[in-house]
Chain A
Amino acid sequence: MSQVHEGAAAPSGAHARGADGSRDLRLTGLTKEYATFTAVKSLDLVVPQGEFFALLGPSGCGKTTTLRMVAGLDTPTSGTIHLGDTEITFEKPYRRPVNTVFQNYALFPHLNIAKNVAFGLERRGIKNTRQQVADMLELVELTSQAHKKPTQMSGGQQQRVALARALINKPEVLLLDEPLGALDLKLRRGMQLELKRIQTEVGLTFVHVTHDQEEAMTMADTIAVMNQGVIEQMGAPSELYENPRTTFVANFLGQSNLIAGEIEGRDGDHVKVRVQGAVASVPGDRAHSDSGKGWLGIRPEKVLIAEAGTPIDAPGDVITGGYVTDVSFVGVSTQYSVMMPWGQELTVFEQNTGARSMLPVGTKVDISWRPEFAFLLDASQDAKAGIEDD
């Protein structure tokens, strides 16, 4: 949890601090029920001050509802929202030190860019906004566009105006609702870096809602993966990716091979799993189940592949008897589908280091992996949870 704001040019509008000085955003037991379904189920969440926090999940998982409750645009059915020591659960949206960058930007079409950016300051009765607006437009590199109307600007520029319009108010928490969703891929990559730069520069708490796992991993200090109204897992991007706790996280964040296995039990700080005749061991902190059936998970890029009979540079058991059913060359890597003897197709990514030529379809292969990269999940979960349909 990095406290990026220290040392950054502290905004002048510093709000009253809590007793311990922190202004963390705390959601406690937050629930939103609609007539026919529950959008958010008893959500507990702490977003440390100054952090870039991402709420990641598929559409309909409740992430936008959560954001709207923090903004005050929706009222929770139960639970509380605190900012530091101040409760803001039922505070009117225009009285919260929270601003939003809306998904469709929601720029005021009748006002020019400068007036859009000045809107929040003027509503709070601040008279001389000119210098602040100029500074903010400079930050988002739109100084020359100040007198244009929103409709005269491109999507990327509108996005930056929306960001400037929210940031100028120096909110304690900036909410971003899929702010890059409407941009094309190339622009999105550029804006991701831009957003991260600005967040580091101004040091505000950013809560970013997205369904794009790559976007969340690129920008966020901490990601909370949401599914069906609850948080499945929360942590740093690398932690979530390397050590998922649920099949949903394993599949939604990147891809995973989940192989059914029989858990034999703990052996020291490892858990032994019997997988299709071979015994694999999983480090204790990566085993999220202790007994019974389990899913042994391994990321495709962690799987090592070699032609049957050739040695593999891995200390673990080698599983033999597979053959290549599909090969796709994607430049930096080659993606193989390997049919295993037990009838499951595994995905393997191999770096194109040039050490060996591509293995053609039909090649008999052996696979293996380093045990420290495997993870173990409870078999009661759906192995296909979180796999997005194309």
Chain B
Amino acid sequence: MTSTAGVPPVSTDDTTAAKPRGRKLTGYWLILPGAVWLLLFFVIPFYSLVASSLFDPKGSVLTGYEMTWHVGNYVDAFNQYKGQLGRSLLYAGLATLTCLVVGYVLAYAIAFKAGRWKNLMLVLVIAPFFTSFLLRTLSWKLILADDGWVVGVAQAIHLTDVLNIIGLTTTDDRLLATPFAVIAGLTYNFLPFMVLPLYASLEKVDIRLIEAAGDLYASPMRGFFKVTFPLSLPGVVAGTLLTFIPAAGDYVNAQLLGSTNTKMIGNSIQSLFTTQGDYATAGALSVILMVIIVAAVMAYVRTAGTEELV
């Protein structure tokens, strides 16, 4: 920051003309690091991604890639992978929903009921981040293993039967390599991203407003739905976005905890890029996923109308 704009103006005649200009430039100087970052790590890669999505689909790592503006890549990619696309949105949606229910209860408990344990509980929410994402997901592989006690307990209480009926598992004697395992993994891994924004907005809810709702004939349950929940909506919106967006593009959970029948779009893109060398289809799929998510998020935020909430 070489500008002198932060210094109060001194009325010496030779500098008065330069001052306003210097002040005007400060803003630009301040956004420069961010702008450079975005240019280097978003705009250029994005350009490259869109460009490769229009390559001639016949190209390969050996023969090289040719830019032929082949828009047909998008149609082919969508048709070929719409199953995985749909599954990604479904799994991410279900994981987000589960995170919301579990996370809301947890955040509510931390914000209103934890008392002096509040800080400890917050630390515990973040604690998993001290271990690698990959390692934690691999551990779930052990936990859900076919001969593990979790499967045994789930069978004993007939949870496996229920999951089988609603289609989250395929057989009634295993949990690993099923949609259930993938969704559970996603839920587990993204739960903190749901809990923290929810906690932040619940914590701001004035207890006196809840008392006022009770005073005005609202039972605790109705008070919650009429006052507490609406006031926590900014946290709900932030939490669902922070969970859904990365979950929709995730491939680690599906790869480690799922099977070939639970492949998500992230797995397809990853294998197209790294093993098959089909940059054109991989690029097109990435752009499609991005467009779907951006459109969904915009529609969601508009419906939730959070800009009205303070």
Q: Which residues of A contact B (CB under 8 A)?
A: 71-73, 92-95, 98-100, 102, 104, 106-110, 119-120, 123-124, 151, 165-166, 169
Residue from B215, B219, B230, B231 in contact with A71 in the complex, judged by beta carbons closer than 8 Å: B215
How far is A100 from B213 in the complex, measured between Cα atoms in Å? 10
Instruction: State which of A92, A95, A108 has its C-beta within 8 Å of the C-beta of B212.
Output: A108
Check if B208 sits within 8 Å of A106, measured CB to CB.
yes
Contacts A109-B310, A110-B309 known; A99 to B208 CB distance under 8 Å?
A: no
The answer to whether A94 touches B214, judged by C-beta atoms less than 8 angstroms apart, is yes
Q: Which of A99, A104, A108, A169 is B227 in contact with, Cβ under 8 Å?
A: A108
Q: Is the CB of B206 within 8 A of A106?
A: yes
The answer to whether B231 touches A102 (Cβ under 8 A) is no
Instruction: Give the contacting residue for B214; candidates A73, A108, A109; CB below 8 A.
Output: A73
Q: What is the CA–CA distance of A99 and B209 in the complex, to the nearest angstrom?
A: 14
| B216 contacts chain A at the CB level, 8 A cutoff | yes
B222 within 8 A of A: yes
Cβ-defined contact, B216 with A109, below 8 A: no
CB < 8 Å neighbour of B216 from A92, A99, A104:
A99
Q: List 12 A-B contacts (CB under 8 A).
A: A102-B208, A102-B211, A102-B215, A106-B208, A109-B310, A110-B227, A110-B230, A119-B213, A120-B217, A123-B216, A123-B218, A165-B216
* Across-interface contacts of B227 in A (CB, < 8 A): 108, 110
Q: A102-B208, A106-B206, A106-B211 are in contact. Are A120 and B231 (CB under 8 A)?
A: no
* Contact with B215, one of A99, A109, A124 (Cβ below 8 angstroms): A99
Instruction: Name the A residues within 8 Å of B226 (CB-CB).
Output: 119, 123
**B310: which A residues are within 8 A, CB to CB?**
109, 151
Measured between beta carbons, the chain B residues less than 8 angstroms from A100 are 212, 215
Report the interface size for chain B: residues with CB under 8 A from the other chain: 21
Q: In the complex the two chains form, what is the Cα distance from A106 to B208 in whole Å?
A: 6
Known: A123-B222, A151-B310. A106 touches B217 (CB 8 A): no
Further pairs besides A110-B230, A123-B226: 19, Cβ < 8 Å: A72-B215, A73-B214, A93-B211, A93-B214, A94-B215, A94-B217, A95-B217, A102-B211, A108-B227, A109-B209, A109-B310, A110-B231, A119-B213, A119-B216, A119-B218, A123-B213, A123-B216, A123-B217, A151-B310
Q: Which residue of chain B has its CB nearest to the CB of A165?
A: B216
Contacts of B217 in A (CB 8 A): 94-95, 120, 123-124, 169
Shortest distance from the beta carbon of B214 to any chain A beta carbon, whole Å: 4
User: What DSSP secondary structure best describes chain B's contact surface?
Assistant: helix
Provide the residues of chain A in CB contact with B206, threshold 8 Å.
Answer: 106
Partner of A73, one of B211, B219, B308, B309: B211
How long is the Cα–Cα vector from A123 to B226 in the complex, in angstroms? Answer: 10
| 4 residue pairs, one from A and one from B, having the closest CB atoms | A106-B212, A120-B216, A123-B217, A93-B214
Cα–Cα, bound, A141→B159 (Å):
60
A249 and B125 alpha carbons, distance in the complex (Å): 55
CB neighbours of B308 from chain A (8 A):
110
Interchain nearest-CB distance for B58 vs A (Å): 57
A95 to B219, CA, bound (A): 9
Cβ–Cβ < 8 Å partners of A106 in chain B = 206, 208-209, 211-212
A39 to B217, CA, bound (A): 27
Instruction: Give the nearest-CB partner of A96 in chain B.
Output: B215
Tell me, rounded to whole Å, the shortest Cβ–Cβ distance linking A173 to chain B: 12
A104 proximity list for chain B (CB < 8 A): 208
List B residues 92-134 near A (Cβ within 8 Å): none
- Which residue of chain A lies nearest to B207 when distances are taken between CB atoms in the complex? A106
Q: Report Cα–Cα, A151/B308, bound state, in Å.
A: 12
Complex-state Cα separation, A90 to B226, whole angstroms: 24
Q: With a 10 A CB-CB cut-off, give which of A71, A93, A99 has the most chain B CB atoms.
A: A93
Residue of A92, A102, A110, A151 with most partner-chain B CB within 10 A: A110
Complex Cα gap A98–B217 (Å): 9
